[in-house]
């Protein structure tokens, strides 16, 4: 008799919840404050950007959306597609790559590949990252996509996916071509550089200062002087042509903060390195990275296939704040008591705000980690029966 009463009560509770369908509003954190005033950093380069890599926070920008040639900095995208192809098991670092006549005829920076020469993907990647080998980039493009033209289409498609609105690639290496206009922007270069750095394996190549190919017969020296001269430098790619002048995407890590400084259109090679260092110094001196106290955040789900949903934190919940405010930061975590299915992966559920007094200095979104479908009536009955059995 007691079990019948319990079953009746559980049935009533489930049916009332299912059909009442109350709308539960998600709590929204207050809007972040306006971006701080642009710092006064004197640069002679045509375009520049400084961002923090884990969050994407822009710390400085000069003509960041202006379209301009970027020379061999183009190879940031080439290396990104190489790393993604390896992630998809298209090939491994041990895979042997055959060099075509077209690849061997590439001019500019090269490692003097010969038609028919066989070189491992490991050495090809080393040639691209360290020596900016146009021939190696072309050979890898052909291997991955069948032709360089198809690889360039892949480059442009990936740029679109990343939201690079001011970019058009015309080849895999950044060489100037008559009658064709390839371009990007400082902001877009920062975007693809940030994406490349998500592949930690690439740092094993971009951090190389001196190395060799062909069993030590061909010596390599990194075109990025910061690897040798700037403490914490990790990469990333240099470039120079007559049209683009001198360009650089530079990455460096200090105190667990990863910065990317992009310099485009500098007048001299030294200028690009000096101005990248100036940007990095500014970022490391003025900002710090804070991480949230909450780990493995989740929220209760009503009327869903699951009852608890884990949340993803943008940039792992980290935020970049001015160093002079670090000791006055208050963390405010806003997560509703519950959310109602259906829910789509990526839906905004909560927010982490970092406040200094009444001012929000940084924020990080908390989003749904996966889709949650709304439970139907019969699924609800099934859950009720399961709980009844467990109840006793």
Q: Which of the residues are catalytic? A: 72, 75, 132
d(CA 126, CA 123): 5
d(CA 43, CA 39): 12
Please state, as a whole number, how many other Cβ atoms lie within 10 Å of the Cβ of residue 130: 25
- Residue 68 forms beta bridges with which residues? 184
Q: Which helix (H) or strand (E) holds 87?
A: helix 75-87
Please say whether the beta carbons of 318 and 291 come within 8 A.
yes
Count Cβ neighbours within 10 Å for each residue of 165-180 and write b for 16 or more, e otherwise.
ebbebbbbbbbbeeee
Please give the C-alpha separations between residue 343 and each of 17, 137, 240, 301, 369, in angstroms, as whole numbers. Answer: 18, 43, 48, 9, 10
* Cis upstream peptide for 342 (omega within 30°): yes
- Nearest Cα residue to 246 out of 14, 69, 9: 69
Q: Pull the structure tokens for residue 369.
A: 């980690």
User: C-alpha dihedral over 294, 283, 200, 345, to 10 degrees?
Assistant: 40
In the chain, beta strands by DSSP E: 47-52, 58-62, 96-98, 118-120, 210-213, 218-221, 233-241, 245-254, 257-266, 287-290, 298-302, 308-313, 319-322, 329-334, 338-340, 348-356, 359-368
d(CA 117, CA 119): 7
């Amino acid at each position: 008799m007691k079990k019948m009463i319990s079953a009746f009560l559980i049935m009533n509770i489930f049916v009332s919840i299912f059909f009442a369908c109350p709308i539960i509003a998600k709590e929204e954190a207050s809007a972040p404050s306006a971006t701080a005033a642009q710092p006064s950093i004197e640069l002679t380069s045509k375009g520049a950007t400084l961002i923090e890599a884990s969050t994407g926070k822009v710390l400085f920008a000069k003509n960041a959306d202006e379209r301009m040639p970027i020379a061999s900095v183009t190879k940031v995208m080439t290396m990104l597609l190489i790393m993604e192809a390896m992630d998809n098991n298209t090939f491994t670092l041990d895979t042997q790559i055959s060099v075509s006549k077209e690849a061997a005829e590439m001019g500019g920076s090269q490692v003097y590949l010969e038609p028919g020469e066989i070189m491992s993907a490991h050495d090809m990647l080393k040639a691209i990252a360290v020596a900016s080998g146009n021939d190696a980039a072309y050979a890898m493009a052909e291997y991955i996509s069948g032709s360089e033209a198809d690889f360039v289409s892949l480059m442009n498609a990936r740029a679109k996916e990343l939201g690079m609105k001011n970019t058009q690639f015309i080849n895999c290496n950044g060489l100037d071509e008559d009658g064709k206009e390839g371009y990007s922007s400082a902001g877009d270069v920062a975007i693809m550089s940030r994406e490349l750095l998500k592949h930690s394996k690439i740092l094993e190549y971009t951090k190389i200062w001196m190395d060799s190919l062909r069993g030590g017969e061909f010596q390599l020296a990194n075109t990025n002087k910061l690897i040798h001269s700037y403490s914490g430098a990790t990469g990333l790619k240099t470039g120079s042509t007559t049209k683009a002048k001198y360009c650089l995407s530079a990455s460096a890590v200090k105190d667990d903060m990863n910065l990317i400084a992009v310099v485009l259109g500098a007048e001299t090679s030294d200028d690009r390195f000096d101005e990248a260092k100036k940007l990095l110094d500014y970022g490391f001196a003025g900002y710090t990275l804070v991480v949230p106290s909450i780990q493995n955040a989740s929220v209760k789900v009503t009327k869903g296939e699951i009852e608890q949903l884990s949340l993803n934190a943008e940039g792992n919940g980290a935020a970049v704040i001015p160093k002079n405010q670090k000791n006055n930061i208050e963390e405010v975590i806003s997560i509703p008591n519950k959310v109602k299915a259906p829910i789509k992966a990526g839906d905004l559920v909560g927010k982490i705000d970092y406040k200094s007094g009444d001012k929000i200095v940084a924020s990080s979104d908390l989003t749904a980690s996966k889709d949650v479908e709304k439970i139907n009536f019969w699924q609800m009955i099934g859950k009720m029966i399961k709980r009844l059995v467990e109840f006793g």
